[in-house]
A and B are shown apart, each in its own frame.
Chain A
């Protein structure tokens, strides 16, 4: 158990819908990262938050957004869902950034299926 929690574990929805994925980082970790794992794209970085502020963006679609709250949990919002958004979405957390302790620990993931 990495200490990172993600809910829900599984999500089945229809095209055009909106869903919210939730992540709670390990105790003491300030950074949260979101990754998408799909068969065709592999593991891709979406976005990073550090202590409530957005720090970096990767291949995140405009239909997707995220935020990190004062208690450091994070939510990834996916809207106008398409079949191609079906994937495993991981959240990872780390102590800070730019420190020797900069190892990312992954949550169990949320498996999203868009029908």
Chain B
């Protein structure tokens, strides 16, 4: 079984500043993927970034980057140059790739990020 924990229910940041959202996970699988999804007030689930566990290099997507610490089972999201449009609920998720029922996404409870002008 996989579990994902987001310990920060809410965070806020000033526009143009940098913020880091925390996520820890637990899995017994050797091969898995990690994701950050964003859910703005529209409630649409939008993929922000993904990381393959077998890759040591941290994933980046424009202003979004992750700090993946496999041994510590930590997967944090850094948002640089925060923009008002980044205001949303952010979900960390894990996905196994060992067959069977492991292709589902297991989500954390989310972190509500507010970007203040």
Which residues of A are at the interface with B, using a C-beta cutoff of 8 A? 2, 31, 33, 35, 42-45, 48, 55-58, 88, 90, 92, 94, 97-98, 100, 102-106, 108-109, 111
Whether A45 contacts B45 in the complex (CB less than 8 A), given A98-B97, A102-B95, A102-B97, comes out as no
B44 at the A/B interface (Cβ < 8 Å)?
yes
In the bound complex, residues from chain A placing their C-beta under 8 Å from that of B44 are 2, 106, 108-109
Question: Would you list the 4 A-B pairs with minimal beta carbon distance, nearest first?
Answer: A56-B101, A106-B45, A45-B104, A43-B107
B24 at the A/B interface (Cβ < 8 Å)?
no
Q: How many residues of B contact A (CB 8 A)?
A: 25
Docked pose: A43 CA to B44 CA in angstroms: 13
Interface centre among A58, A90, A98 (most CB of B within 10 A): A98
Whether A104 contacts B107 in the complex (CB less than 8 A), given A88-B43, A98-B97, comes out as no
How near does chain B come to A104, taking the closest CB pair, in angstroms? 6
Question: Would you mind naming 16 contact pairs between A and B with Cβ atoms under 8 Å apart?
Answer: A2-B46, A31-B103, A42-B109, A43-B91, A43-B105, A43-B107, A48-B103, A56-B100, A56-B101, A58-B104, A92-B105, A98-B99, A102-B33, A104-B95, A104-B105, A108-B44
B25 at the A/B interface (Cβ < 8 Å)?
no
Docked pose: A42 CA to B91 CA in angstroms: 10
Docked pose: A89 CA to B97 CA in angstroms: 24
Which residues of B are at the interface with A, using a C-beta cutoff of 8 A? 33, 35, 37, 42-47, 50, 52, 91, 95, 97, 99-107, 109-110
Beta-carbon contact of A45 and B105 below 8 Å: yes
In the bound complex, residues from chain B placing their C-beta under 8 Å from that of A33 are 103-105
Whether A90 contacts B45 in the complex (CB less than 8 A), given A45-B104, A55-B103, A57-B101, comes out as yes
In the bound complex, residues from chain B placing their C-beta under 8 Å from that of A106 are 37, 44-47
In the bound complex, residues from chain A placing their C-beta under 8 Å from that of B105 are 33, 35, 43, 45, 92, 104
Docked pose: A92 CA to B104 CA in angstroms: 10
In the bound complex, residues from chain A placing their C-beta under 8 Å from that of B109 are 42
Docked pose: A94 CA to B35 CA in angstroms: 14
A48-B103, A106-B37 given; 17 more Cβ-contact pairs under 8 Å:
A33-B104, A42-B107, A42-B109, A43-B107, A45-B105, A56-B101, A92-B105, A97-B103, A98-B103, A100-B52, A102-B97, A104-B47, A104-B95, A105-B47, A106-B44, A108-B44, A109-B43
